[in-house]
A and B are shown apart, each in its own frame.
Chain A
Amino acid sequence: MYDIKKIRNFSIIAHIDHGKSTLADRLLEYTGAVASRDVEEQLLDNMELERERGITIKARAVRFAYKADDGETYELNLIDTPGHVDFGYEVSRSLTACEGAVLIVDATQGVQAQTLANAYMAVDNDLEILPVINKIDLPSADTEMAKHEIEDIIGIPAMDAPCISAKMGINIKDVLERIVTDVPAPKGDPEKPLQALIFDSYYDSYKGVVVYIRVMEGKLSVGDTVRMMHTGAEFEVVEAGTLNAFSLDKRETLYAGEVGYFTASIKSIGDTTVGDTVTLRDAPCAEPLPGFKKVQPMVFSGIYPADGSKYGDLKEALEKLQLNDASLVFEPETSVALGFGFRCGFLGLLHMEIIDERLEREFNLDLITTAPSVIYELVLNDGTVLHVDNPSNYPDPTLIKEARQPMVKASVITPTEYVGPVMQFCLDRRGIYLDMKYLDTTRAELLYEMPLNEIVYDFFDTLKSKTKGYASLDYEPIGYRKSDLVKLDILLNGEMIDALSFIVFSDRAYARARKIVEKLRDNIPRQLFELPVQAAIGGKVIARETVKAMRKDVLAKCYGGDITRKKKLLEKQKEGKKRMRSFGSVQVPSEAFMAVLKMDDDQ
C-alpha cells in the first residue's frame, strides 16, 4: 500500500568503527526484519574482507517496516554508505537518495575526521541529521563530551540525542522513533515523468545487473523502457521490487519516494553508473538529477602475477571484480622486468589495497604490485598538455616545460599531544599548513594542502603509527599545482627496470633512490657475477650499490652415492624459477620486487 507520507529514507553515517554496521543490524533485528539468529554479524557488510576490516566498501540498501508509537506502520529504507574517503562520491549519491541521516558518534572517541566529513556531506545534501551517541556500555564512555562535541564542532543540536549501545541492544527503539518523527517523508509526485537516482548496482549472473534506485518523481513499472540519461543506454525493465534483508521482493511498480531495484538484462555495470538518472524513454523528465560525476580513478599501479604463467588467471579475476566495481579500471600492460600484467586505476589507496587483497585472497593469486602513482599533468615545450599515470610514459625531462601534480586538502584530527609530531610529519610530506582548530581541550584538527602522491605513499599507516592509532584522516582533491618533479629510474647491471621507475619530488629523489638501491641490494640474491644496482635521473646515476657475486653454492659431499639432496635442490630451483624474473643474465625473484615495492620506509 503506497503512502508516501509513511516512507522514511535514511542512511547511517559514522567514522570508521563507531558502530554503523552494528546499529544497522540492531534496527533490522528490532523491527523483526530479520530474526536475531540470522544476524550473523553485520548483515549489510556482506563481503568477508569488509567484515574483517570493519569497513563497508559497497553501499547496500534494505527496506523494513516499523510500527511506531503513534500506531502507524512506516516503511523504512536504510541505505548504507561506504565508509572511506576513497568512496566519497558513492557516499554522496547514497545520501542524495535519503531525507535523513543517523550520525553515530562513539561515546569513547567523540567526533572524528570522517564523522565531520560525512556530516558535512549530509548537510550539503540537505539531510535531516539525527545524532546518536553509541557505545554507552563502555566504561570510558563520555556521552556529555560526545554531545558537546557534536554541538560545538558540527553545529547541530545534540543534547537530546539517543544514547545507545548498538552492541548490547540498548535504546534501539529511541533511534527508530526519532527516524519516524524527525526524518521528513520524501517529496515527489508519482504522476510526474520518471526521475530515479541510481545509487548502487551489482552484477548477478542470472539477472544481469541489479540496479538500486531511489525514485524521486514518477513511477517505474515492469515492462517500461527506461533510459539512463548520462550514458544514453536504454533497457526494458524485466523485474522491479524492494530490497529485503535477505532477498529481493518483486513488485510491479515503484513509486516516487520509494527505494528499490530493477533488472533489465543489463550486461555491463558500466551502463548503470552511480549517480545517473533513470527516466522513461517515451516520457522523459526534463533534466537529469544534479550532481552526476564520472568517477575518475586517482591512483594507478601495475599488477603482475608473481608467477608469470598466471596472467590468464589474473585477467579473469580482474574481470570478475569489475562486474561489481565500475570504479576499477584496468588495461593490459607489459613490463620488461615483470612480463605481462595490468595497469589498474583505483579511487584511492584503500580501494587499491582492497582490490589487491581480494585478488590474492578470493582468487588465490600471488601478485607484484608496483608503486602507486597519481596522475601528473605535464605541459610540454610545444604547449601540449600530457597526463601521465605511468612512470614508463614520462617524457624526456628536456621536453617538459612545466610539471604539475594533484593536490588535496587533508584534514587530520589528532589528540593534542600528537600535534607536534603530526605537524612535523605533514611538513615532511610537503604539506602546506592551512589551519588548526582545537575541537575541544583534547583534540585538534589540522588542515594541510598536500600532494596526493604523498598521501598514497603510505601516509595513513605512518600517521596512525605516529599517533598510537588515534589520528584520523580525510582528504579531498583540490586540483593541480606546479611542482618540481623528476622520474627516477632503477638499473640492474646497467639495464633499466621499468617496473621500478617512479615519479618523485626532486628534493626527495636522492633519499628515495638510496633507500631503493639499498633494499634491492639486500633483497636480490647473489648472482654468479657482481651486480651493480643504480638509481638514475635522466641517465645520471645518483645512487649505487653492489650485489656481490656468489662465492659459494655447492654440495661438497654426496656420500655413498646418495644424490637425493642434489635432486631436491634442483626441484627447489625449478620451483623458484617460476617466481624468478630474468632480464639479460640477471635473475631476480618476485619476492625482491615485493620487498622493494612494499613502502614501509618511514618506520
Chain B
Amino acid sequence: MSTTTSLYFHFPFCTRKCNYCAFYSVPWASEAQKDAYLDALKTQALSFGETRPVPSVYFGGGTPTNFGVSRLTDLLCFVREHFSLTPDVEITLEANPADVSPADLQTLRNAGFNRLSIGMQSSDDALLKSLGRRHTFADTRATVEAAREAGFQNLSLDLLFALPGQTLPGLETSVRDALSLCPEHISAYSLQLEEGTAFYQTRETLSFPTEDEEEAQYDALCSLLANAGYRHYEISSFAKEGFRSRHNLRYWDRGDYLGIGAAAHSFWNGKRFSNVPDLKAYLASPLTANDYKKAERIDETEAWEETVMLGLRTDEGIPASLVSSEHISRLVSLGLLAQKGDHVALTERGWRVSNAVIGQLLL
C-alpha cells in the first residue's frame, strides 16, 4: 500500500472539441455550472478522508484553463488547506495556449502551480487549424515566455505526430520549434484514430501517414530529442534530467491516486474505480456518481499483470523475475527487450509494439 496519495482533478470543459479527441468533455457550461462543479470537486475530494502525504497534484482535462483562473486558484488553496502536500509537491496544470494571459500565469504561479503542461501539438499553424485547435504556434511561444516570466521552472509541451497531412520534415520542424522553447519535458503522442471523433467521421477523406512514414517520424522524434538531452523515460514522455513527471510516473508505479471530477479514474487502497463521464450526473451527486461500490480489490494475478504492463511503459522496466526467462531471452534476441541489471525494459522498438510484447509476457 502506498504511503502517499496523488490527486487528479478533471475538468471536462472545452470551448470546442478537437477533431482527434475522444475524451469526455462538454462544449459549453454556464458560470453557475462551473461554480457548482467547483463545489462538487471539493465535496468529493473531502469525502475520502485521505490523510496521507500528497506528492503530486494534477489539474487535467478537457481544458482546465477554460474553468477560470480564479476557480483554479480557489481549488488549489482548498487542496493546500485540506491535504498535506509534501514540501517538494509537483502541481501541474494543463494549459491551452489560447486561454492564458501573462497575468493569469502570474496568478497561477503565485497560487502554487509549479508545472505547466502546454498543449502545443505542432508548430504548423495550418495543421493546428486542421486539428481544431484554437491557437497558433505564436500563442504557444508567448505562453512559454510568459510562464518563464511568471517563474515556472518546469514546463512540458505536448506534441502530436502521425497526423493527417503531416510530413516528416514538418514533424522535424515542430520538434525543433518545440526544442527552441527549451521545455523541461515533452510528451509526444502518435495520433490514434478514435471512434466518435471528427477525424473518424471524415477518415475516408484524410491522408494518414503510411506505416513507414509514421515509423520515420517516430524515429526522427526520438533521435532529435535524444540529441537535445532529453531522456525517453516512458512510451510517450521525454524529460531533461530531474524533470520526469512525478504524477504520471505514479500511474506506472501503481502508486495511489484519487481522481476527482466527472470521468476521473482512481486507484486507491487496492481498488480501481471511476466517476461517471456525465457532468450533470456528477453535479447531482458527486459522492455516488461512481462505481466505487462495484469495484473489487485487485487480486494478486491482476496486480502482477498491472505491474508488468504498466511497469514496461517506463525505461526502468520491471524486475526480470516477474516474467519467464524464456520469453525474456527470445524478446531480447529480437531487440524488443533489454536487460538492465535485475530489471528488463522495453527498447524503443519494443515500445512501438508494446501491446504484443506485453501480451506474450503475460499469457
Contact = CB atoms under 8 A, between A and B. Distances in A.
Interface of A: 528-529, 550-564, 566-567, 569-570, 573-574, 577, 585
Contact of A557 (B192, B266, B306, B355): B192
B264 A554 contact: no
A563 B334 CA distance: 27
28 contacts: A528-B331, A528-B334, A528-B336, A528-B356, A551-B211, A552-B190, A552-B353, A553-B356, A554-B190, A554-B351, A554-B354, A556-B236, A560-B259, A561-B8, A561-B250, A561-B257, A561-B266, A563-B251, A567-B305, A567-B306, A570-B305, A570-B309, A573-B355, A573-B359, A573-B362, A573-B363, A574-B363, A577-B359
Given A559-B23, A560-B60, A561-B265, A551 B334 contact: no
A553 B211 CA distance: 11
B60 A554 contact: no
Contacts of A556: 189-190, 192, 235-236
Contacts of B310: 563, 566
Contact of A570 (B257, B264, B357, B358): B358
A420 B358 CA distance: 57
A559 B237 CA distance: 13
A529 B334 contact: yes
Nearest to B250: A561
Contact of A551 (B192, B215, B272, B313): B215
Given A563-B251, A563-B272, A574-B363, A555 B355 contact: yes
Contact of B353 (A551, A558, A561): A551
A570 B363 CA distance: 9
B214 A557 contact: no
A38 to B, nearest CB: 52
A463 B220 CA distance: 56
Nearest to B10: A560
A524 to B, nearest CB: 14
Given A556-B190, A557-B236, A562-B265, A551 B363 contact: no
Contacts of B266: 561
A557 B272 contact: no
B330 interface: yes
A562 B362 CA distance: 20
Contacts of B10: 560
Contacts of A555: 192, 354-355
B200 interface: no
Nearest to B308: A570
B305 A552 contact: no
Interface in B308-332: 309-310, 313, 330-331
B251 A553 contact: no
Given A557-B236, A560-B265, A566 B356 contact: no
Nearest to A561: B251
Contacts of A585: 330
Interface in B219-266: 235-236, 250-251, 257, 259, 264-266
Contacts of A552: 190, 211, 214-215, 352-353
Nearest to A569: B355
Nearest to B264: A560
A553 B272 CA distance: 25
Contact of B355 (A529, A554, A559, A562): A554
B274 interface: yes
A553 B267 CA distance: 25
- Which of A529, A561, A569 counts the most B-chain CB atoms under 10 A from its CB? A561
Nearest to A559: B23
Contacts of A553: 352-356
A589 to B, nearest CB: 13
Interface string B343-356: 00000000111111
Contact of B306 (A550, A560, A563, A574): A563
A577 B358 CA distance: 13
B281 to A, nearest CB: 18
B354 to A, nearest CB: 5
Contacts of A557: 189, 192, 236
A574 B264 CA distance: 27
Given A551-B352, A560-B60, A562-B274, 14 more contacts: A528-B356, A552-B215, A554-B355, A557-B189, A559-B23, A559-B60, A560-B8, A561-B257, A563-B265, A563-B310, A564-B274, A566-B309, A573-B362, A577-B359
Contacts of B334: 528-529
Contact of A528 (B236, B272, B313, B353): B353
A144 B8 CA distance: 87
Contacts of B330: 585
A593 B356 CA distance: 21
Nearest to B214: A552
A550 B356 contact: yes
A555 B190 CA distance: 9
A562 B251 CA distance: 9
Nearest to A529: B334
Contacts of B354: 553-555
- Which of A528, A555, A567, A577 counts the most B-chain CB atoms under 10 A from its CB? A528
10 cross-chain pairs, A with B, having the tightest CB-CB distances, nearest first: A573-B359, A562-B265, A553-B355, A561-B251, A553-B353, A556-B189, A553-B356, A577-B363, A556-B236, A554-B354
A561 B256 CA distance: 10
Interface in B128-177: none
Nearest to A558: B251
Contacts of A574: 363
A574 B236 CA distance: 25
A554 B306 contact: no
A554 B355 CA distance: 5
Nearest to B355: A553
B335 to A, nearest CB: 9
Interface in B1-51: 8, 10, 23
Contact of A561 (B236, B259, B355): B259
Nearest to B313: A558
A557 B251 CA distance: 12
Contacts of A529: 334
A559 B23 CA distance: 9
Contact of A550 (B236, B313, B353, B358): B353
Nearest to A552: B352
Contacts of A570: 305, 309, 358-359, 362
